[in-house]
Structure 1
Amino acid sequence: MRRALAYGVAASLLSFSAEAASCPQEQARYQDRDKAYELAFLPEASDAQTAEHRFTLSVLGTSLKLDGYVMGASPDERPSSMLFFNCPEGDVTGADLQACTIWQGVIYGESGGTLSLLPAAGQPAAGALLLPALGPAIRQSTLFGEGKAQLAPWDVLTFSGCAS
């Protein structure tokens, strides 16, 4: 029974990996284990010239949406990622940005069983993403609570499709 389950899980991961490999990272979509959140990369260019990727994180079943950026780094550094919620428009101060920052860290991508940095634009999409401590950050943020998000996502999101 366990072996059959293991083969089923492996086959499903290979299916996701094959589908992800045919999708560029900037068009990939991911969901958490509970299907409560969707992370969608956006193919359009970002306003921030140093942004390598732009993405949104939506709380499914609600109108709540966070804006995210992956900022490029030198070859010796890991790119920094940030998620924002309800940031003010126009000129903002560092304090304003700090107040609306929900999560900050590195997004790791899994491909072929290997965990590495998120693929660059134009590269095949990762089969899964790891956003370390995303769930606890959301649980402790202004996004979480009565009338808002009721469930925090897992830190691992799996490939769910490709935007066309």
Structure 2
Amino acid sequence: MSPVQSLFPPVLSLFVLVSSAAFAAECAQQDAIYEDRDKAYELRFVPVESAAAAASHIFKLAVLKTGLLLDGYVMPTDEVSRSSGIIMHNCPEGDVTGAELDACTVWEGLLYSIDDKGGAANLPDGTAAAAGEILLADLGSSIRSSALWGEGQLTVAPWDVLTLKGCGQ
């Protein structure tokens, strides 16, 4: 390998990091669009309509190959400030029982923003600059364990880290 070839990957990686950071600064978290490493899943944040809403963030998780669309919500935790998320599919509306909620929950866990140095933090506020990457802890294995997994349904699980790929609105 020539010296130029051995230099190219680090230079390209640096360009991607700088480009991602600059792009994230131009996009509000509430408009951010992310994808998994295999480009099989896309996560799109949407603005929260009401200031009285319990959710700090709302998103849709799309399974690109099948067109399946899952609903996601982020709420701050009470005791220690963390971004707690939930992804649901076909939940009944109105008053629901705990068993009904459990049956339609695909994933529940913590979301973290990952900065360009690998540091983790809570998800930025909706109008703040979008995180370059987000981590949905245990997302892939939760989808594999859900009722959506199996023949004729989902057969590809996402990586737990999703990378900013665009900005909506």
TM-score w.r.t. the length of structure 1 is 0.92
Specify the alignment match of 1:115 in structure 2. Answer: 120
Relative distance call for 1:103 and 1:87 in structure 2 (3 A) is same
Bigger Rg, structure 1 or 2: 2
SS in 2 for 1:148: coil
Written as runs of structure 1 = structure 2, the 5 A alignment for 1:1-164 is: 1-45=5-49, 49-74=53-78, 76-113=80-117, 114-164=119-169
Identity of aligned residues (%): 48
Q: CA deviation at 1:72?
A: 2.3
Q: Residue 2 and residue 28 in structure 1: after superposition, are their counterparts in 2 closer, same or farther (change >3 A)?
A: same
In structure 2, do the counterparts of structure 1 residues 75 and 3 end up closer, same or farther at CA, with 3 Å as the change threshold?
farther
Aligned residues: 164
Residue 143 (structure 1) shift:
1.7
Q: TM-score, normalised by structure 2?
A: 0.89
Residue 48 of structure 1: how far off its partner (Å): 7.4
> What are structure 1's unaligned runs of at least 5 residues?
none
Q: In the aligned structure 2, how far is the partner of 1:31 from the partner of 1:13?
A: 16
Q: Which structure 2 segments of 5+ residues have no match? A: none
User: RMSD value over aligned CA atoms?
Assistant: 1.8
